[in-house]
Amino acid sequence: MSAGTTKLNVTVTDVVAVNELVKRFHFERSDGGDLPTFSGGAHVVVEMRDGDKSRLNPYSLMSSPHNTRDYTISVRRDDSGRGGSLFMHNRVKRGMEMVISYPVNLFSLDLRARKHLLLAGGIGITPFMAQTAQLAGEGGNFELHYTCRTPALGTYADVLRDRYGKRVNIYYDDTNERLPLERLLTSQPLGTHLYVCGPAGMIRWVRETAAAHGWPDETVHYEHFAAPQPGLPFDVTLALSKMQISVGEEQSLLEAMEAAGIDPPYLCRGGVCGQCETNVVSYDGTFRHNDHWLTEAEHCSGKKIMPCVSRFEGKSLVLER
């Protein structure tokens, strides 16, 4: 069993269409009782059994950490992805039994902060649903800035505005409203921490602008799960297990290892936590690194790979697994 991946048997108690792209799923323990406590920013890995295919995708918990009767997640439909979100949208119905992991938090609030400045883009709003509930319950000082495409796709914008009033600022792309990032970053009191969750481009923009304006790295928190990208199939030799496996087009290297009965450690399955880091014994080809864990130098070294999101193209790859 992988560290931190103790499993929970849950029942889907509700499925709610939030708007044309987003559905919300409610889970309760199948054996009754409360679910484990979690903190705002935590995610669970949802197991999707789809015939002989099995997908494990991380989703942020968006319900209040003060309520562990159920967990809720919101899933945005991605028609061009590997099918995890489509499975959730099309196949998961109320009453279904599912398996999820214990919650893990790789995007937690730094509660020493004097103030929390939360920046969300699109479906990146979900961890902030839980974090704002946690902060509001503890009298925390926060300000949320949320950019979405249109009012119709402003997932939970109305809920957040009702709950927190002026502490919530919403910007709609279709009317050319833009997050006033520079003004926000230059007007925060000392002791403010910054959190950003959204598309990769937004995270990069916020991190670079914050660094240029003198925000110390320790005060800038971000979460970007890179969903595993499909790619060309490739073969891998696992040196320790003395096995030869094939990674399919729609499969990640981690999933292929699991399908072969190997159980590498993981927590996020999105290239951020570092658990599944694997040493490369030898290779002849090109790595397709997609993670946010290894350094640039490690990516170039050809000595390490993050099997949850990264791929390989070439003649041979031997891993220390």
Partner 1 sequence: MPAKTILSRPVYGTLSPQTGKNHLFVADAEGASAILDLAKKAPDGFFAGAHIMFIPETSRSQFQAPLRALKPAQFYEGPSIAAALPRLRQTLANAHMGLRIYLAGTEGLIGQAMQVALEAGIDHSSIQTEHRGSWARRVQCVHCKGITENVTTQPATCAHCGLLLLVRDHYSRRLAAFQGVCINAEDPSEIPQKEEIFR
Q: Using only C-alpha atoms, what is the Rg of the chain? A: 20
The residue (of 20 and 217) whose beta carbon lies closer to partner 1 is 217
Burial of 228 (0-12, 13-18, 19+ CB in 10 A): buried
SS (H, E, C) 204-272: HHHHHHHHHCCCCHHHEEEECCCCCCCCCCEEEEECCCCEEEEECCCCCHHHHHHHCCCCCCCCCCCCC
Cα–Cα nearest to 37, from 59, 13, 61: 61
In this structure, the strands spanning 22-29 and 7-17 are antiparallel
The CA-atom distances, in angstroms, between 60 and each of 12, 40, 114, 159, 179 are 16, 9, 24, 18, 23
The residue (of 10 and 113) whose beta carbon lies closer to partner 1 is 113
List the structure tokens of 297: 């130098």
Minimum CB distance to partner 1, residue 182 (Å) = 10
The CA-atom distances, in angstroms, between 99 and each of 5, 205, 282, 310 are 11, 36, 36, 25
Largest Cα span, the chain: 60
Residue 41: what residue type?
G
The CA-atom distances, in angstroms, between 288 and each of 160, 234, 300 are 39, 12, 11
The residue (of 95 and 189) whose beta carbon lies closer to partner 1 is 189
The residue (of 140 and 248) whose beta carbon lies closer to partner 1 is 140
Minimum CB distance to partner 1, residue 115 (Å) = 8
Please report, as ranges, the residues that interact with partner 1 according to CB under 8 A: 112-114, 185-192, 211-216, 218-219
Burial of 298 (0-12, 13-18, 19+ CB in 10 A): middle
Cα–Cα nearest to 251, from 174, 188, 307: 307
Residue tagged 């936590």 (tokens): 273
SS3 317: strand
